[in-house]
A and B are shown apart, each in its own frame.
Chain A
Amino acid sequence: GNSVTQMEGPVTLSEEAFLTINCTYTATGYPSLFWYVQYPGEGLQLLLKATKADDKGSNKGFEATYRKETTSFHLEKGSVQVSDSAVYFCALSGGRDDKIIFGKGTRLHILP
């Protein structure tokens, strides 16, 4: 079945550092891929998405490219801020229903 694997955290970086959070997936067909972010005490919200191979999703300085050849959707940001501290979830959707499969989440701490 479909699955998502993302790097375990926590990830701790200094402000203005470069961020990569790895995500790989297993799926049949052509799934859509998502990154969600969860700030402390809140629900998840969509950060970015890509619906077909080679698409790049971007939002708030974050980017991720849908790589079908490596089945990956790594999240990157060139210069992180303290306000980016949160839990990040990689996810895919592509079955006959609207269900989304989530990774286990990566907690990110940014130090000032």
Chain B
Amino acid sequence: NAGVTQTPKFQVLKTGQSMTLQCAQDMNHNSMYWYRQDPGMGLRLIYYSASEGTTDKGEVPNGYNVSRLNKREFSLRLESAAPSQTSVYFCASSERQGKSYNEQFFGPGTRLTVL
């Protein structure tokens, strides 16, 4: 199993450009997440999807859109990139078993720089 995969690994954009970050998981998880990680800020949730066909805003959704294409794939789109969106982006997935809250599995991240 590959776990959670993300593409691309690195990206440089100019202000105003758009791009889509791709994420896929092969663990048959229902829940998927997008985070951003900035120095001194820890991880902040951008959007999440509890199941195929549903998405919800997290802590910092402004400037982003998401698509849960199917159970495996969850993409993050920046319509008009801004320097404040320079960050490392992580995708994660998880599955709840009964009343137990299970761990999240993370991808390797995408390092995005907006000039």
**Residues of A bordering B, CB below 8 Å:** 31-32, 34, 42-46, 49, 51, 89, 93-94, 97-100, 102-105
- A110 CB to nearest chain B CB (Å): 21
- Cα separation A100 to B90 with both chains bound (whole Å): 14
Tell me the residues in window 47-77 of chain B with beta carbons closer than 8 Å to chain A beta carbons.
Answer: 48, 50, 56, 58
Whether the pair A31, B107 counts as a contact (CB closer than 8 A) is: no
Inter-chain contacts of A31 with B (CB < 8 A): 101
- A35 CB to nearest chain B CB (Å): 10
Return the chain B residue nearest A100 by Cβ. B104
- A99 CB to nearest chain B CB (Å): 6
Whether the pair B42, A42 counts as a contact (CB closer than 8 A) is: no
Whether the pair B43, A102 counts as a contact (CB closer than 8 A) is: yes
Whether the pair B106, A98 counts as a contact (CB closer than 8 A) is: no
- B24 CB to nearest chain A CB (Å): 14
Whether the pair A94, B42 counts as a contact (CB closer than 8 A) is: no
* B side interface size, CB within 8 A: 27
Whether the pair A99, B90 counts as a contact (CB closer than 8 A) is: no
Give the one of B43, B48, B94 with max A CB within 10 A: B43
Q: Is B100 an interface residue (CB 8 A)?
A: yes
- Cα separation A44 to B106 with both chains bound (whole Å): 6
- Cα separation A104 to B107 with both chains bound (whole Å): 19
Q: Is B2 an interface residue (CB 8 A)?
A: no
Inter-chain contacts of A89 with B (CB < 8 A): 42-43
Whether the pair A98, B103 counts as a contact (CB closer than 8 A) is: no
> Which of B48, B56, B90, B100 contacts A44 (CB under 8 A)?
B90
Q: A42-B108, A43-B108, A97-B50 are in contact. Are A102 and B103 (CB under 8 A)?
A: no
A-B contact pairs, 30 of them (CB 8 A): A42-B108, A42-B109, A43-B4, A43-B90, A43-B106, A43-B107, A43-B108, A43-B109, A44-B43, A44-B92, A44-B104, A44-B106, A46-B104, A46-B105, A49-B103, A51-B101, A89-B43, A93-B101, A94-B101, A97-B48, A98-B31, A98-B94, A98-B95, A98-B96, A98-B101, A99-B33, A99-B48, A100-B94, A102-B42, A102-B43
Inter-chain contacts of A34 with B (CB < 8 A): 103
